[in-house]
Structure 1
Amino acid sequence: MPEQRTGTAERHAAVRERVDRDWGLELPECLFRYDSFLASLDPDQARVLTDLELSPFGISDLFADPGAAPSDADVDVRAHGRFYRDPPEFLTFMHGGSDGLHFGLWFADGRTCSGVASYYNNDAGELDMTSSTPLEAVRARVEMSCRDMHDYYEGDELAERLQRLAGLRDAVTAFETGDRPKVGVAYLKKHVFVWPPIFDDSATTLDRGGALADGETVLGRPGQNRTDPATFARAVFPTLDDAEKLAAAVEEARRRCADGDPAEALALGRDLHWTSGFDEVREAYAHELLAAAYQALDRPALAGIADAHHRHRRIKSVQVL
């Protein structure tokens, strides 16, 4: 592994302390490897990363200045890098270019990182949960580009572009995924587009991130990846799209949460958050249910993030720092 720059350990410690203090989250070592990877890139490798439209963003901005404060004192720092549909469990660390693609650390338990999620904020797609670390996400984008190059280029130009991608791949594997020799389509089949998918016992949600909570849900939601997304959506939307049914569903989630079972409040709250679509009623229901569920589950960090997000959800720019 390449040597760290002078002062890197101190800077990383400052970022870790800042996020623990202001967000209440414990940053994983894999995020610090991502920062060290960025610092290790030579000009050609950095240019290829830029060509892939991957750039540090969100929480990664603290690596440049761990003490950075919001440019507007009235804006909660936890709104930085937080797009409209980001679940509270999602902490942005990298932007991906077009259509609002961005990547976030995933904090299912409200304290420790359990993986990486990504999605296109401007599209209707779901969360992609196939990467475990930031550098796995970068490696996946490298191999997707390698695959796609064959559709657009040939001959010497194709060879040159693949060689440049290989240089960036080498930079990634110096830190992670060095034990994965396959490239391009072969890599994607083995490590990204895996079938059958990995099952997850967290209750299925419309964003496909899952609601981690013991207890029962109204729909008896199956674990993640145990149901077809379209079939699940057809079971959920009749309630979300009917004002009277939705009000009754929210009241039932409230009752269950007050009785000690927050599973329905968390799952329904996440569905409403994901599908709010600038609807004030859905936004308010989502905020209420999520705040109640996170408090009941002893996840105060997520409750605070949900509150900050609700207050600044319609902010004009997610560039807060």
Structure 2
Amino acid sequence: MPKEDCKYWDKCYQRNPVHLSKYNHPEMPKENEEDNVEGRKVAPKRSAPLQPEEKEEDTPAQTVEKDGPNTSNPSIDIENEEEARGSYESETAELHREAMTNISGKNYMEILEKRIRLSIQKEYDNLCESNEFIRHKFLVEMPPDFYEFWKYVGSLKSDPAKPKDAGLEHLDKLFQLQLVGPFEFLAGKFHGAKLGEPGDYLRHWRFYYDPPEFQTIFVRRGTGIHYGYWRDVPQDKENLLIARNDSASGCEFKFVAGNAFDAFLYYLEHDFVATPFSAGQLAGTKKAVTKYLSDNSLEFAQLDRLQRERTKKVVAKTFHRAGIVAPFDRKTQLGYRSLLVSDVELKKMLAMLERKEIDQVAAKQTVLEKLQPVANAANIAVDESDFGTALELGIDLFCSGHKELHLLTSSLLVPAYSMLSRPQFIAIAKAHMEQRSRDINLSIFEVLK
């Protein structure tokens, strides 16, 4: 059967095979072609008059053919039209993508990524201009004694022209004491450093057993011995206690000072082993610290008073022995309730994970089955406003050191910290458990090399 001529002649928009098999597309006669307008060709006018019930369509793509051999099944032409429209939209999308990825001969995504990097770098550089960097990257603010101790460290430089970190190098060289974390920011070590992910900054000098409440500031070089501020609430920046832990010995922390100066003196007395060559320097430094405090009329809160005040707020000791603080109403007994098991019973459950003679997969499953009722009760306690219960169990599981329990630990700490309005500790705990390391060199600068 011969094919009919398409009403749009060689200007037809359709290119699908079904349409082409039904219609010829001869070249349009010159006399029937409209003039070009600014390079755009206009479709020819219809020669036949419109029927009263017909409406003139805006574009050929909106017209359904009515006088072809398939008028008995108009859905075929509709399908052809939709296929053509789909092809057109696909081509348009492809051209758009090509345009978006071809800006002055450069890849669009590369330009976009470069602009994002520049924006992030600018924000980072601006942060480095103030102490806001510490709050932004470490999620906490530092107490007054921290900044005063930094001034003291600066006074150790014999030459004012020396770089800011000269005081750090002096203490490291003489006493094997590294001032880390926020002290490194004050020393300018973060300025111009390679950018890291948010979690990298939260893990900076965070040792294996450090809970979110603890932030390292002193480290004995080459060991797991470290000192840091203890915050029960992230916003605390006054009268903070300083605790000590040796990660090689376990999870227990001991409060040793009420300010950075006293912590430094404690370190010199207990963790620095003097030699005959350094004994004179040690005695001179101790006197210098006392004199600096006196000359500058500095008087900070002492350990005994701060510890007494905090002990009143502690609701449970926990495995790290520093205890946890949560609001507790003694009249209504609201805020904390004891776990379903004692510390001794809990440690017995967890001890199964350390037995090498039994299958570890089976041991993990058994321990989780035993812990689940305890965890369920702690979460019920959260629902009933006893937030300290879930916090206690979460911290105990964290302090056990078993990474197999991180998921359960997170399920307890997240709601507890959330209900206690301590979201910063949620971020710190998650970042730590994502990459928890027993290493002793935990500097972000090692990660970003």
Interval containing the TM-score (normalised by the shorter chain): 0.7 to 0.9
The answer to whether the Cα contact below 8 Å between 2:207 and 2:437 also exists between their aligned partners in 1 is no
- 1:27, distance to aligned residue in structure 2 (A): 1.0
Map 1:112-261 onto structure 2 (within 5 A). 112-113=236-237, 114-124=240-250, 126-144=252-270, 157=276, 161-176=278-293, 198=308, 200-201=311-312, 202=314, 203-214=316-327, 215-219=335-339, 233-241=343-351, 242-261=367-386
In 1, Cα distance between equivalents of 2:192 and 2:218: 18
Q: Among residues 211, 217, 227, which one is paired with 1:103 in the alignment?
A: 227
Q: SS at the partner of 1:218?
A: coil
Letter in 2 for 1:200: T
Tell me which residue corresponds to 2:390: 265
Q: Among residues 28, 35, 38, which one is paired with 2:143 in the alignment?
A: 28
- 1:71, distance to aligned residue in structure 2 (A): 5.0
The answer to whether the Cα contact below 8 Å between 1:101 and 1:118 also exists between their aligned partners in 2 is yes
Give unpaired runs (5+ residues) of structure 2: 1-126, 159-166, 296-301, 328-334, 352-366
- Percent identical: 24
Cα-Cα RMSD: 3.5
Max radius of gyration: which structure?
2
- 1:220, distance to aligned residue in structure 2 (A): 9.2
In 1, Cα distance between equivalents of 2:233 and 2:401: 23
Q: SS at the partner of 1:76?
A: helix
Give unpaired runs (5+ residues) of structure 1: 1-11, 179-190, 222-231
In 2, Cα distance between equivalents of 1:246 and 1:70: 42
- 1:76, distance to aligned residue in structure 2 (A): 3.4
1:241-282: CA deviation from partner (whole Å, max 9, x where unpaired)? 4432212111111121133221111111111111123x32x2
- 1:143, distance to aligned residue in structure 2 (A): 2.6
Q: SS at the partner of 2:218?
A: strand
1:87-129: CA deviation from partner (whole Å, max 9, x where unpaired)? 0011111112353111111111121142111201122261021
1:52 aligns with 2:169: no
Q: SS at the partner of 2:325?
A: coil
The answer to whether the Cα contact below 8 Å between 2:251 and 2:399 also exists between their aligned partners in 1 is no
Which deviates more from structure 2 when the two are superposed, residues 301-310 or residues 239-248? 239-248
Letter in 2 for 1:248: P
The answer to whether the Cα contact below 8 Å between 1:75 and 1:312 also exists between their aligned partners in 2 is no
Letter in 1 for 2:344: R
Letter in 1 for 2:336: E
Which deviates more from structure 2 when the two are superposed, residues 285-294 or residues 46-55? 46-55
Task: Output the TM-score relative to the length of structure 2.
Answer: 0.54
Letter in 2 for 1:117: A
1:132-164: CA deviation from partner (whole Å, max 9, x where unpaired)? 112211111223369x76xxx7xxx4xx64322
Q: SS at the partner of 1:206?
A: coil
In 2, Cα distance between equivalents of 1:253 and 1:90: 23
Tell me which residue corresponds to 1:311: 434
Closer, same or farther in 2 for the Cα pair 1:288/1:69, shift >3 Å?
Answer: farther
Task: Output the TM-score relative to the length of structure 1.
Answer: 0.73
Which deviates more from structure 2 when the two are superposed, residues 79-88 or residues 92-101? 92-101
